A and B are shown apart, each in its own frame.
Chain A
Amino acid sequence: QSVLTQPPSASGTPGQRVTISCSGSSSNIGTNTVNWYQQFPGTAPKLLIYNYSQRPSGVPDRFSGSKSGTSASLAISGLQSEDEADYYCETWDDTLNAVVFGGGTKLTVL
């Protein structure tokens, strides 16, 4: 049972906008920065969004992040087939004194 709650799956058609949520609490998302990682099968996770909404160099601006209260969201606009992957949110939890990950969301491009 993950501290951060993500929907196990999400889907969309090419060109659509898809949003993936990450729900936490005041001791984690409510207080600390949220990061998002993208993982393709058989490969290591890659940083996609950091500090709620910042994109590392090379990440398309189709990917955006936001936070509201104790939840964070990853939005992907202009969905492409190559976006089909697993997505994880991550932050620090002040009560657990630990890094916490969401359970992951498998994105399918129909």
Chain B
Amino acid sequence: QITLKESGPTLVRPTQTLTLTCTFSGFSLTTSGVGVGWIRQPPGKALEWLALIYWDDDKRYSPSLKSRLTITKDTSKNQVVLTMTSMDLVDTGTYYCAHRPSYDWFDPWGQGTLVTVSS
């Protein structure tokens, strides 16, 4: 059974850097074709993809947020870390990590973690 869980701060001040960790089990990020992605959702709004990292360390970023994002993996800990710099009020939302089994879809998703940006 594959599970993922997001962890990190619930409150971030404007201009600060957000660091989120996705801890997973039931699969390995050393398996060919496998990836982990980050997706966020502002309150009452649509899903927005942020970043992807694959088994071979190939990294992909949302073009609109690329300058602010860094995604890394620690295969020994079964973790993927996302950092987002220069946090702003509009970055408030639920952040999800998800398993990408073969380059093409997300399944399953973590439960999500709500991040509020406020001074």
- Does A associate with B in a complex? yes
Contact of A56 among B60, B63, B96, B107 (CB under 8 A): B107
14 contacts between A and B (CB under 8 A): A35-B104, A46-B109, A47-B105, A50-B104, A56-B107, A88-B46, A88-B47, A90-B49, A97-B63, A98-B61, A99-B49, A101-B46, A101-B49, A102-B46
Residues of A within 8 A of B (CB): 2, 32-33, 35, 37, 43-47, 50-51, 56, 88, 90, 92, 96-104
Contact of B60 among A32, A50, A98, A104 (CB under 8 A): A98
Q: Are B104 and A47 in contact (CB under 8 A)?
A: no
A101 to B62, CA, bound (A): 12
A96 to B62, CA, bound (A): 8
How far apart are B110's CB and chain A's nearest CB, in angstroms? 7
Counting residue pairs across A and B whose Cβ atoms lie within 8 Å, the total is 64
Q: Does B106 contact A (CB under 8 A)?
A: yes
Instruction: Kindly identify, within residues 66 to 119 of chain B, every residue whose CB is under 8 Å from any CB belonging to chain A.
Output: 96, 104-112
How far apart are A94's CB and chain B's nearest CB, in angstroms? 12
User: How many B residues face the partner with a CB closer than 8 A?
Assistant: 21
Q: Are A44 and B96 in contact (CB under 8 A)?
A: yes
Q: Are B105 and A33 in contact (CB under 8 A)?
A: yes
- Residues of A contacting B48 in the complex (Cβ-Cβ under 8 angstroms): 101
A104 to B48, CA, bound (A): 11
- Residues of B contacting A99 in the complex (Cβ-Cβ under 8 angstroms): 37, 39, 49, 52, 60, 62
A92 to B96, CA, bound (A): 18
Q: Are B110 and A44 in contact (CB under 8 A)?
A: yes
